[in-house]
Amino acid sequence: MAAAPSSARWPNERTKGLVGTLRPPASGLPAGDEKRRAVREMFDTIAGRYDLLNRVNSLGMDRGWRRRCVSALELPAGSLVLDVACGTGDLCDELARQRYRPVGLDLSPGMLAQARARTAHRVDAGAPGRGERGPAPAPLVLADALGAPFRPAYFDGAVSAFALRNVVDLGQLFRQLAYAVRPGGRVSLLELSRPESAVLRFGHGLWCNYAVPLVGSLFSDAPAYRYLPKSLAYLPPPEEVVGMLEGAGFAAVQHVLLAGGTCQIYLATAGRHLAPRTSRRGGPEMPEMSASNGSNVSGSNTGTPNAGTEGKAARS
């Protein structure tokens, strides 16, 4: 997915040599600016039933995958973690349950509206978790994952769930994460995959190509749920993704398969870029925010400003 207008505080293609644009799809899928617009509009359309369809289409396994994604960070409690393409907030909630401080970023106003609605419902009704009303709501940023104006080395870690195949320039995404995460910080990137076993691949193909679009047509948007299984074609092979992460400055890169190879996690440790700043209160500084920078931000954590520019990040 194409980046927003460049920011002086973020690297871009001219300042880094790694080329990471996702491979052109062979099946007539959109690319470039067309893909960026289509992905945003699609997720706005399916936001209302997105969580329900995730549970059904993954046979309930997506919750366990998210828990595994977050637990793999292995960061200290209280670490500040960016959720790229946070969607309706499932992964932000899991980060809070595991005692991290999440900040959610997404391209889709519709998805962020759902995230705010579920948070408001939880606060109104009370929910199990930390404290009587559950985890504090995460700040939510409507922004481009390829150009959000966070300070360098600002986060302790970053996560994403089902986002990698929905960006136009995967290498640029990895460079931005390496820029935004402090040295020694961790990233954990969850994505779907295709099993290597011929038997599992056959069953997986039947489910994705027939069952998923059928369920989507019954409960949500048929074209969206025909696109989502096909979008796996955007993903490079794992060895290429590992090389792109290493080229972006990450070390100790691992590729972990889950559920017989139907899901995968890329784990890595940030290895370079600027040292993290600290605030007068001793924690990482939050990004600046002003009315002139196009920020579109919501969040109810007192004393926790956050910033972003309207743009694009995506998930499945």
Q: What is the CATH number of the domain that holds 290?
A: 3.40.50.150
Residues 6 or more apart whose Cβ sits within 8 Å of residue 100: 70, 73, 75, 77, 78, 79, 80, 81, 157
Would you tell me how many other CB atoms lie within 10 Å of the CB of residue 108? 28
Q: List pLDDT tens digits, range 156-196.
A: 999 999 999 999 889 999 999 999 999 999 999 999 998 98
Q: How far apart are CA 230 and CA 88, in angstroms?
A: 22
Q: Where are the alpha helices (DSSP H) in the chain?
A: 32-46, 50-57, 62-71, 90-97, 109-125, 170-180, 198-206, 212-219, 222-230, 238-247
117 part of a folded domain: yes
70 part of a folded domain: yes
230 part of a folded domain: yes
Q: How far apart are CA 5 and CA 61, in angstroms?
A: 37
DSSP-based three-state secondary structure for 159: strand
241 part of a folded domain: yes
38 part of a folded domain: yes
26 part of a folded domain: no
23 part of a folded domain: no
Residue 290: the pLDDT is 28
Closest C-alpha among 297, 279, 273, 234 to residue 106: 297
**What is the value of pTM for the model shown?**
0.78
185 part of a folded domain: yes
Q: pLDDT band for position 3 (50/70/90)? A: very low
Q: How many CA atoms lie within 13 A of 202 on its CB side?
A: 2
Q: How many domains does the chain have?
A: 1
Residues of the domain holding 234: 32-298
Q: List pLDDT tens digits, range 76-129.
A: 999 999 999 999 999 999 999 999 999 999 999 999 999 999 887 665 555 444
Residue 283: the pLDDT is 37
Residues 6 or more apart whose Cβ sits within 8 Å of residue 157: 73, 75, 79, 80, 81, 82, 100, 181, 185, 186, 187, 188
* pLDDT over threshold 60, residue 300: no
Task: State phi, psi for 251 to the nearest 5 degrees.
Answer: -125, 170
